[in-house]
């Protein structure tokens, strides 16, 4: 009796110990979590390829006197033509800017041929590498350069564009977190139909997100891991999306065990034993897929790998420790009004997934062929994806820097308005200047600052920014200027496109191989992992195809982010295999308990279909939050992943994987022992032959 009471007391103490441990962990992480925004960087160098020419230019500019220059263009425009008073206003305002700030050169006005526009290139090394000081400089220039009475004044250029982009990224944190939490809360209320239960996983996900912020700050300080607005936003999405998925699976299994087991503590242990391996395997697969991004050369992609992994692992830790502890402490009443009573049996009803499994059982090959044709047809839409996204098309709104670029493009069609930066060795600066001036497509080239063995040249092309002609000029400069680096906004865009294509060719095979090896080890099979991997690749192609059908015609986007293909592939493969693990793990469990192959597949679909559907809806909804953000690349990424998750949830997992399992029967587990039919017992009275 005393031993039983002692054992019961220990069981009751464990959840409190876990809760206390989490309070201590949060107390330690809290000072670091609040500092994550301080180390967030959204300069061009934080997104550029690590080895590209344009990245080297940005790094060397940091070491020149005054650091990286902030380049702006002040644009004065009147539709009917500038008046003498307008030009006087422009002269006075530019003089005020030059008197208040340390500029690299005295700005000189360049009038347009039609007389409607006057532009003043303005560059300053005053802010150096400080993004906050850069933004203050840009805003100070905007405060001085003002129009009125028909005169429009806009401040554009690379520095102003960076300020506008930083403002967008800095505004993502709060709205992204609140919108994601609200969407998850709404879906959990609809799924659980309980006034209390939805609060528990949502609160745990919020705690996991806070912890991930502290860990991400620690990685930045300890290992120099880059943190950008994009990567920190994706980390929050992953914590809430993946964490809620794990919570749905655990709570579903816990509810099932509460009907069989009297004590909540024992029921939770049974639930963790039942679904814990699948959750661990799925989180390991997602983390492995994200860590493959470390092989990318693009800084934005490589930095997203560690932060995404941190988000997934923090969500895993919270959902397998803190969530069970809270559920046990709250007891059965947390499920009110649908409380799972001990010894009760849930109402038998024919679910949607039972019906879907029935159709897959009757005609598995027809379902497979039809699904494959549908996915293939959708994937053809990817040929309709817009070309590469230009800087002026990267916002869903129209900030001032973009408006200035559009005004310049219309007023100066015959010349470039965005400088190309060349960094040449100081001992070859004069020769490089002469070679640059002699390069086809270059209208002017001037020598700038010198320091640390390097000299900065400012080159102006004849063609419009990011046009095919300007691209040819930049490539000619790179071929001509030996030992020099060519950078600037247009060169950065070229490097982004080239590096994204190279990263895709390198990272995609690594992701496929790592995910395949994990699935082989988990499922003890070669066929089942190949089915799952092929399915998620097909989903990725179909999701991109749907994007190609809507991005231009429906959303009005003028281009596609160069990194969309790689990032959407990594997320869809890792997250899609996640659901495949839930289904296949239950199928394998049923097979180990003696179920026939067809029955094991249908039982797995019936028991996990509802959970997978709920998890898919939550994950798709969290990524769909990105479609409300003001950056085109975030909208495109969120749309493709959300559509892919929905396709994976309601078509691939339910119909295609189940149909393939039914059609292949035991061969789906080849070459594991489940692929072999069980030996039939020898008939009674029959004697085995005795060897002589």
Phi–psi pair at 487, nearest 5 degrees:
-135, -155
319, 343, 367 - which closes a domain: 343
Read off the CATH number of the domain in which 392 is found: 1.20.1640.10
Token pair for residue 282?
């799925």
Question: What would the pLDDT profile of 431-455 be if each residue is shown by its tens digit?
Answer: 999 999 999 999 888 888 888 899 9
Q: Is residue 692 part of a domain?
A: no
Of residues 237 and 42, more confidently modeled: 237
Token pair for residue 660?
């393939």
pLDDT band, residue 473 (cuts 50/70/90): very high
C-alpha distances (whole Å) from 280 to each of 213, 249, 313, 320 are 22, 12, 10, 9
Determine the Cα–Cα distance for residues 530 and 670; give it in Å rounded to an integer.
11
Over range 326-349, report the average pLDDT: 80
Order of strands, sheet of 110-111, starting from the edge strand that comes earlier in the sequence: 110-111, 117-124, 70-77, 152-156
Q: Is the pLDDT of residue 550 over 90?
A: yes
Is there a single domain that holds both residue 626 and residue 670? Answer: yes
Read off the CATH number of the domain in which 444 is found: 3.30.70
Phi–psi pair at 119, nearest 5 degrees:
-115, 140
pLDDT of residue 338: 79
pLDDT above 70 as % of the chain: 91
| pTM of the predicted protein model | 0.83
Determine the Cα–Cα distance for residues 239 and 228; give it in Å rounded to an integer.
17
Q: Is the pLDDT of residue 399 over 90?
A: no
145, 163, 181 - which closes a domain: 163
The 3-class secondary structure across 645-657, one letter per residue, is HHHHHHHHHHHHH
Q: Is residue 283 part of a domain?
A: yes
Compute, in degrees rounded to 10, the torsion defined by CA atoms 208, 209, 212, 214. Answer: -110
Determine the Cα–Cα distance for residues 446 and 266; give it in Å rounded to an integer.
77
Q: Is residue 410 part of a domain?
A: no
pLDDT of residue 640: 95
Is there a single domain that holds both residue 547 and residue 654? Answer: yes
Is there a single domain that holds both residue 114 and residue 189? Answer: no
Is there a single domain that holds both residue 483 and residue 494? Answer: no
Determine the Cα–Cα distance for residues 429 and 426; give it in Å rounded to an integer.
5
Is there a single domain that holds both residue 543 and residue 476? Answer: no
Determine the Cα–Cα distance for residues 271 and 261; give it in Å rounded to an integer.
10
Residues 6+ apart with CB under 8 A from 271: 250, 253, 254, 256, 257, 324
Determine the Cα–Cα distance for residues 460 and 486; give it in Å rounded to an integer.
12
Q: Is the pLDDT of residue 589 over 70?
A: yes
State the CB neighbour count (10 A cutoff) for residue 35: 15
Residue with tokens 């035991």: 666
pLDDT of residue 8: 55
**372-378 CB contacts, 8 Å cutoff, 24+ apart:** 372/538, 372/656, 374/542, 374/651, 375/538, 375/539, 375/541, 375/542, 375/647, 375/651, 375/652, 376/538, 376/541, 376/542, 378/541, 378/542, 378/545, 378/546
Is there a single domain that holds both residue 559 and residue 629? Answer: yes
Determine the Cα–Cα distance for residues 292 and 309; give it in Å rounded to an integer.
10
pLDDT of residue 167: 79
Question: What would the pLDDT profile of 640-668 be if each residue is shown by its tens digit?
Answer: 999 999 998 888 877 888 888 888 888 88
Question: What would the pLDDT profile of 186-213 be if each residue is shown by its tens digit?
Answer: 888 888 888 888 899 999 999 999 999 9
The continuous run of DSSP H or E covering 594 comes out as none
Determine the Cα–Cα distance for residues 376 and 382; give it in Å rounded to an integer.
11
Instruction: State whether residue 124 is helix, strand or coil.
Output: strand
Is there a single domain that holds both residue 602 and residue 652? Answer: yes
What is the count of structural domains for the chain? 4
**333-339 CB contacts, 8 Å cutoff, 24+ apart:** 334/194, 334/196, 334/197, 334/200, 335/192, 335/194, 335/197, 335/255, 336/194, 336/195, 336/196, 337/193, 337/194, 338/193, 338/194
Instruction: State whether residue 136 is helix, strand or coil.
Output: helix
Is there a single domain that holds both residue 255 and residue 329? Answer: yes
Is there a single domain that holds both residue 94 and residue 220? Answer: no
Residue with tokens 């293939």: 376
pLDDT band, residue 631 (cuts 50/70/90): confident
Token pair for residue 281?
């395997």
Instruction: State whether residue 34 is helix, strand or coil.
Output: coil
pLDDT of residue 402: 87
pLDDT band, residue 608 (cuts 50/70/90): confident
Q: Is the pLDDT of residue 357 over 70?
A: no
Token pair for residue 639?
């749309």
pLDDT of residue 298: 84
Is there a single domain that holds both residue 335 and residue 236? Answer: yes
Query: CA Rg, the chain, in Å?
Result: 30
Is there a single domain that holds both residue 480 and residue 575? Answer: no
326, 343, 360 - which closes a domain: 343
Over range 93-98, report the average pLDDT: 93
Is there a single domain that holds both residue 254 and residue 324? Answer: yes
pLDDT of residue 331: 86
pLDDT of residue 7: 53
Question: What would the pLDDT profile of 251-261 be if each residue is shown by its tens digit?
Answer: 988 888 898 88
3-state helix, strand, coil in the chain (%, to 5): 70, 10, 25
**Do the Cβ atoms of 157 and 72 come closer than 8 Å?**
yes
C-alpha distances (whole Å) from 582 to each of 244, 252, 641, 654 are 14, 12, 19, 12
Q: Is residue 211 part of a domain?
A: yes
The 3-class secondary structure across 369-412, one letter per residue, is HHHHHHHHHHHHHHHHCCCECCHHHCECCCCHHHHHHHHHHHHC
Exposed / middle / buried, residue 690 (Cβ in 10 Å: 0-12, 13-18, 19+): exposed
**Do the Cβ atoms of 251 and 201 come closer than 8 Å?**
yes
Q: Which of 240, 290, 232 is nearest to 566 (CA)?
A: 290
Q: Give the range of the structural domain holding residue 592, as residue numbers without chain letter.
A: 351-396+490-676
Exposed / middle / buried, residue 560 (Cβ in 10 Å: 0-12, 13-18, 19+): buried
**Do the Cβ atoms of 127 and 133 come closer than 8 Å?**
yes
Q: Is residue 681 part of a domain?
A: no
pLDDT of residue 188: 83
pLDDT band, residue 274 (cuts 50/70/90): confident
Residues 307, 310, 312, 315: is their CA dihedral positive or negative? negative
């Amino acid at each position: 009796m005393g031993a039983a009471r002692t054992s019961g007391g220990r069981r009751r103490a464990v959840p409190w110990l876990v809760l206390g441990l989490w309070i201590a962990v949060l107390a330690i992480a809290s000072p670091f979590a609040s500092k994550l925004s301080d180390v967030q960087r959204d300069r061009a160098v934080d997104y550029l390829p690590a080895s590209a020419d344009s990245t080297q230019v940005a790094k060397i500019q940091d070491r020149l006197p005054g650091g990286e220059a902030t380049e702006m263009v002040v644009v004065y425009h009147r539709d009917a033509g500038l008046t003498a008073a307008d030009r006087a206003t422009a002269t006075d305002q530019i003089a005020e800017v030059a008197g208040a700030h340390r500029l690299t050169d005295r700005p000189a006005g360049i009038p347009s041929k039609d007389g409607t526009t006057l532009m003043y290139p303005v560059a300053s090394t005053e802010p150096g590498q400080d993004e906050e000081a850069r933004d203050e400089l840009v805003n100070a220039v905007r405060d001085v350069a003002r129009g009125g009475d028909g005169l429009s004044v806009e401040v554009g250029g690379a520095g102003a564009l960076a300020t506008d982009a930083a403002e967008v990224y800095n505004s993502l944190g709060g709205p992204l977190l609140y919108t994601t939490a609200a969407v998850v809360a709404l879906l959990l209320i609809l799924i659980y139909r309980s006034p209390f239960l939805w609060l528990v996983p949502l609160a745990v996900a919020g705690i996991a997100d806070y912890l991930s912020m502290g860990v991400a700050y620690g990685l930045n300080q300890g290992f120099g891991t880059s943190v950008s607005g994009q990567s920190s936003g994706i980390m929050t999405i992953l914590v809430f999306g993946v964490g809620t998925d794990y919570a749905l699976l655990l709570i579903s299994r816990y509810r099932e065990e509460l009907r069989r087991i009297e004590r909540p503590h024992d029921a939770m242990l049974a639930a963790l034993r039942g679904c814990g391996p699948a959750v661990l395997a799925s989180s390991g697969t997602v983390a492995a897929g994200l860590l493959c991004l470390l092989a990318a050369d693009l800084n934005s992609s490589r930095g997203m790998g560690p932060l995404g992994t941190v988000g997934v692992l923090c969500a895993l830790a919270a959902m397998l420790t803190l969530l069970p502890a809270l559920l046990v402490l709250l007891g059965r009443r947390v499920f009110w009004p649908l409380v799972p009573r001990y010894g009760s049996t849930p109402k038998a009803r024919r679910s949607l997934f039972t019906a879907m499994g029935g159709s897959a059982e009757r005609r598995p090959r027809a379902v497979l062929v039809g699904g494959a044709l549908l996915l293939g047809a959708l994937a053809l839409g990817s040929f309709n994806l817009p070309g590469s996204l230009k800087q002026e098309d990267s916002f869903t709104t129209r900030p001032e820097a973009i408006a200035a670029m559009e005004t310049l493009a219309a007023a100066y069609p015959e010349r470039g308005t965005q400088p190309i930066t060349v960094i040449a060795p100081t001992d070859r600066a004069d020769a490089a200047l002469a070679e640059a001036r002699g390069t086809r497509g270059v209208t002017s080239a001037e020598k700038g600052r010198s320091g640390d063995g390097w000299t900065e040249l400012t080159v102006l092309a004849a063609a419009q920014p990011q046009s095919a002609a300007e691209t040819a000029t930049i490539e000619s400069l790179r071929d001509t200027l030996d030992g020099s680096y060519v950078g600037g906004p247009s060169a950065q865009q070229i490097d982004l496109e080239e590096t994204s294509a190279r990263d895709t060719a390198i990272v995609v095979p690594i992701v496929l191989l790592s995910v395949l090896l994990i699935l082989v080890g988990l499922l003890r099979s070669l066929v089942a992992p190949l089915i799952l991997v092929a399915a998620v690749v097909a989903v990725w192609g179909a999701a991109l195809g749907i994007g190609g059908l809507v991005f231009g015609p429906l959303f009005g986007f003028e281009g596609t982010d160069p990194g969309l293909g790689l990032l959407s592939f990594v997320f869809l493969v890792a997250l899609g295999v996640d659901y495949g693990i839930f289904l296949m793990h239950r199928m394998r469990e049923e097979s180990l308990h003696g179920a026939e192959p067809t029955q094991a597949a249908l039982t797995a679909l019936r028991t996990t279909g509802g959970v997978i559907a709920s998890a898919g809806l939550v994950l798709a909804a969290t990524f769909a939050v990105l479609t409300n953000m003001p950056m085109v690349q975030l909208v495109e990424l969120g749309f493709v992943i959300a559509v892919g998750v929905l396709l994976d949830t309601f078509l691939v997992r339910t119909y295609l994987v189940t149909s393939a399992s039914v059609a292949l029967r035991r061969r789906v587990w080849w070459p594991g022992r489940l692929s072999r039919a069980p030996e039939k017992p020898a008939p009674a009275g029959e004697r085995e032959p005795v060897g002589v």
